[in-house]
A and B are shown apart, each in its own frame.
Chain A
Amino acid sequence: SQKIEQNSEALNIQEGKTATLTCNYTNYSPAYLQWYRQDPGRGPVFLLLIRENEKEKRKERLKVTFDTTLKQSLFHITASQPADSATYLCALAKNSGYALNFGKGTSLLVTP
């Protein structure tokens, strides 16, 4: 069956450090992978999409890598800030159509 696994443990880091979150998947052949941010009681907010032929993508302090051989994506936040504290979700399209499957998310806490 298809699985998306993210760090189950919460990630606590100090302000200014780089946060690295992991997403591993099985039984997918994704054309692209997406990362979303979710704050408590809110819907997910899109952050980045990376295509299968892209090794790395950046947006301001965010960087995503995509290794289709390892079936893994890494999500980095550099110079982290307390405002980056949230749950980060990895998402892949289901095999048919455009609906998304999500990982459980990794909770990130950035402390001053």
Chain B
Amino acid sequence: GAVVSQHPSRVICKSGTSVKIECRSLDFQATTMFWYRQFPKQSLMLMATSNEGSKATYEQGVEKDKFLINHASLTLSTLTVTSAHPEDSSFYICSARDAAEASNQPQHFGDGTRLSIL
């Protein structure tokens, strides 16, 4: 089955640090990837849609300069949390659509990155 690998699985760093999270589709090509954020006992909230070779589309209220997204290849999207602060601590999850599948097929999710800013 389709596998999405997310790295790192956990990051603990000091306030002010920039953190990069990678999302890779291992056995399929993903023209579109999605980044979600999940706070404890809350729903997954869509942050942005990442399109290969073009700029990401951000949801309302998500700062594009704070959360930099790059989707330079069909198998890799990265999310960089710039100058992270404690309020950015959360569980970040990516998902990917298989470009070969129909639009109504499920997305494939990574295992998430637990980001803790001290």
What residues make up the interface of A, taking CB atoms closer than 8 Å to B?
4, 31-32, 34, 36, 41-46, 49, 51, 89, 94, 97-105
Q: Which B residues between 4 and 50 are near A, CB-CB below 8 angstroms? A: 4, 6, 32, 34, 41-44, 46, 49
| Contacting pair B42 A99 (CB below 8 A) | no
Main SS class of interface, B: strand
Cα–Cα, bound, A51→B112 (Å): 28
CB < 8 Å: which of B93, B104, B105 contacts A43?
B93
| Contacting pair A104 B43 (CB below 8 A) | yes
B contact residues around A49 at 8 Å (CB): 104-106
The number of inter-chain residue pairs (CB within 8 angstroms) is 59
| Contacting pair A98 B32 (CB below 8 A) | yes
Q: Output the nearest chain B residue to A101 by Cβ-Cβ distance.
A: B46
A contact residues around B71 at 8 Å (CB): none
A43-B93, A43-B111, A99-B34 as given contacts; A32 in contact with B104, CB under 8 Å = yes
| Contacting pair A100 B107 (CB below 8 A) | yes
A contact residues around B108 at 8 Å (CB): 46
B contact residues around A31 at 8 Å (CB): 104
| Contacting pair B46 A94 (CB below 8 A) | yes
CB < 8 Å: which of A44, A46, A101, A104 contacts B93?
A44
| Contacting pair A102 B104 (CB below 8 A) | no
| Contacting pair A99 B112 (CB below 8 A) | no
Q: Output the nearest chain B residue to A42 by Cβ-Cβ distance.
A: B111
Cα–Cα, bound, A42→B41 (Å): 13
Task: Give min CB distance, B18 to chain A, whole Å.
Answer: 23
Cα–Cα, bound, A102→B107 (Å): 13
